[in-house]
Structure 1
């Protein structure tokens, strides 16, 4: 396993940076990630996502056009605990970095441009709501985390989006877009001179654009939903369903959130994937035909797993999944479970090797890891060295006290 060469730096303001070397690649990637997302404290749900949209607005118009003039792509994304702004191009390194810091560091919120953005974000949310998987996922999150910022969609609600003002965005920005909550990353083929130039330029720009006078705040307040089994009416003929597993704090079991996430996904895939003996039994019983979508997640406000699928008899299948999740591995399935674990360790290693050739993916993963104090390479080494017995023990501990809820659609209502 080969890790790329990384130049790390921490500035006096608290801003951190990484320059990740990938020799012989033409593409250069630059990003700024902020340790603030939709689940973090904000009076009006969706403010973090709205803020991400409006930071592109400048007095002369949409700043993305300036990136395009340089032949670069630019984008942004908001997740539960993070917001990231990033661009990629072939050359013009310094100009791209300057534009990126101006994008993040020069807010321009007016009553007019906020009012113009409101229906755009509402329409974006409405598009998601037409998808049956959104209805399942949204209701699962509310069942697990109630009407908290984690329970509500990243974009907020139609009502909360309409209530957000320029003053709200300014307050949220000033409280959260602070250098000690931000990380800069560059990834590509850079010479020694370019590395020094980038490090110096970032120092100059963060002093120009970022306010280091305020102290950053974090919150891990956790809300608890009702954890019910719901059946909701649907205007479609979809027979989609979902389960939500609310879990204890991963750090009580492992020092790494990321490694706990990986182990849980491996364990659940071993029990429920198309390769498992259980899936074959469910298939023969006519309960399932397509693979299940399994995702483990960690946030400051709570750790959880979602499982989505399709079934003509979802109540029966949901019950079978619940039993399979908590059931100990039987002696007859032990050989398969060990084989699957070893196979998944190889798959994660292969996935890591593939990621080295995908500059944006590699940079975003490393930037996210930097905020969580995660070392993906150390986690991968620990996974490769882990015994099946330790893997079993960790998974049992991670599932201890697990609560499960479910949501399924009632067709044609």
Structure 2
């Protein structure tokens, strides 16, 4: 078991890759009563076309990763939530574009809860009857999200940025796509992506690392897994020319909603895990300089009524894609889109993009980071979602401190390209 000390954070992280390929991380937090366990597979909603090396491609219906997450909790003997409840734990799961994660939190019966987490995720049970029953439940969930204006706004933008890539498809799929899912499809996806070599177990809380690792190793040694095989994932070839630069929809909303996105071009993404983590950090700082809630641009747009308290932005960087998005409720959607585009494309000439402001924002980012480490949920979720090779959540302070103004300017040059901008608006449905 490897032991890495982070003296500035007063943290010690224990890591081991087991014989079956499972990577285990244990972070002891003796001052906490709660323990949080998260079992995550590198498999999400975009992974709908794949093959093992030497085999033919398999294309599965959209939404199957999320469907599989739902079905994992149902076993022949009953609902696994009841078992966690009996052990005094709360359990949950979530599916993102690139990950599916199962988790529990508890203050007691930690060994039993860790083993229950491992066992239920590693023992799939699907039948044609239970799959059919689940379709109606998930169809209702899909329709509920389709009625959410902010959800529609976000996926409307993704449709424009990535018209071919499965990123633009709702994580839960569509009502039509989930109707095509079979028990055999679920088993095929499970056997492909739920192999231990494609998974991470992260345990954080009041645990003893050696003892906890022994529980996990004994549990895994008692099971038989197929040999590790390389997974090939396939995505459509897409260029800037494929993008839809503007579209709009109507919906029963009281005010228009507008969003602007910038698609990251793969050829501009730095190579190497550390450089990509530095790039992500530099972009985040640059966007804060330009449009953060302490910037002059933000205050001006707010005072002019072009944005309101709903304004926000984000930068996402994951395997096979990266993009920035900016959105707000606004009575002047066209002006909002024009203003945000102008600010972004003229980043190098913005007077607020200077060393003094950058150092202030770095201190603010570090402050939020250290505050977040008081949350076990934050640590586990961020750690498993944002692994950059050997660089982890705990390497971020060093990365943040290392960013210079030129790094932000270079990151802006790579990301903020006019031809990579797309816009989407939701407008109120007019009364008939």
What TM-score bracket applies, with the shorter chain setting the length?
over 0.9
- Which SS does the other structure have where 1:333 is aligned? coil
1:242-321 equivalence runs, <5 A: 242-249=259-266, 251-252=269-270, 255-256=273-274, 257-290=276-309, 292-321=311-340
The CA deviation at 1:323 is: 1.3
Task: State the 1:251 CA deviation.
Answer: 4.1
Specify the alignment match of 1:189 in structure 2. 206
Gaps of 5+ in 1: none
Moved more, 180-189 or 340-349: 340-349
Q: 2:367 is matched with which residue?
A: 350
Listed one character per residue, the Cα deviations across residues 296-333 of structure 1 (whole Å, up to 9, x for unaligned) are 11222211112111111101210111111110343743
Tell which deviates more after alignment, 172-181 or 292-301. Answer: 292-301
For residues 291 and 273 of structure 1, the distance between their equivalents in structure 2, rounded to whole angstroms, comes to 13
Query: Who is 1:74 aligned against?
Result: 91
Give the Å deviation of 1:3. Answer: 4.7
Distance 2:316 2:89 in 1: 32
Q: Aligned pair in 2 of structure 1 residues 230, 188: CA closer, same or farther (>3 Å)?
A: same
SS in structure 2 opposite 1:265? helix
Match of 2:409 in 1: 392
Match of 1:330 among 349, 352, 357: 349
Q: How many residues align?
A: 408
- Contact 2:290–2:343 (8 Å) recurs in 1: yes
Q: Is the 8 A contact 2:165 2:235 kept in 1?
A: no
Q: Report the CA distance between 1:165 and its aligned residue.
A: 1.2
Residue 14 in 1 paired to residue 21 in 2?
yes
1:91-150 C-alpha deviation (Å, 9 max, x unpaired): 212211111111210000011111111111111111111111111111111111114321
Q: Say if 2:169 is the partner of 1:162.
A: no
Instruction: Say yes or no: does 1:206 pair with 2:220.
Output: yes
Shift in CA distance, 287/401, structure 1 to aligned 2, threshold 3 Å: closer
Q: Which residue among 37, 44, 48 is the counterpart of 1:41?
A: 48
Give the deviation of 1:29 after TM superposition: 1.2
The equivalent position to 1:180 in structure 2, one of 183, 190, 197, is 197
Determine which of 116, 119, 133 is the counterpart of 1:102: 119
Residues 358 and 108 of structure 1: is their aligned pair in 2 closer, same or farther, counting only changes over 3 Å? same
Change (3 A) 1:410 1:279: same
Q: Deviations over 1:56-114 (max 9, x none)?
A: 01001111110000110111111111111111111212211111111210000011111
1:61 to 75, 78, 99: 78
Normalising by structure 1, we get a TM-score of 0.92
CA drift of 1:216 comes to 3.4
Q: CA-atom RMSD, angstroms?
A: 2.1
Residue 214 to residue 346, structure 1, CA distance change in 2 (3 Å): same
Secondary structure of the corresponding residue to residue 40 of structure 1: coil
SS at match of 1:275: coil
The 1-side partners of 2:45 and 2:221 are apart by 27
What TM-score do the two structures reach when normalised by structure 2?
0.88
Runs of 4+ in 1 over 6 A off after TM superposition: none
Asked if residue 89 in structure 1 is aligned to residue 134 in structure 2, the reply is no
Which of 27, 33, 55 does residue 34 from structure 2 map onto? 27
Task: Decide whether aligned partners of structure 1 residues 103 and 340 sit closer, same or farther in structure 2, where only a CA change above 3 A counts.
Answer: farther
**Shift of residue 254 of structure 1?**
6.4
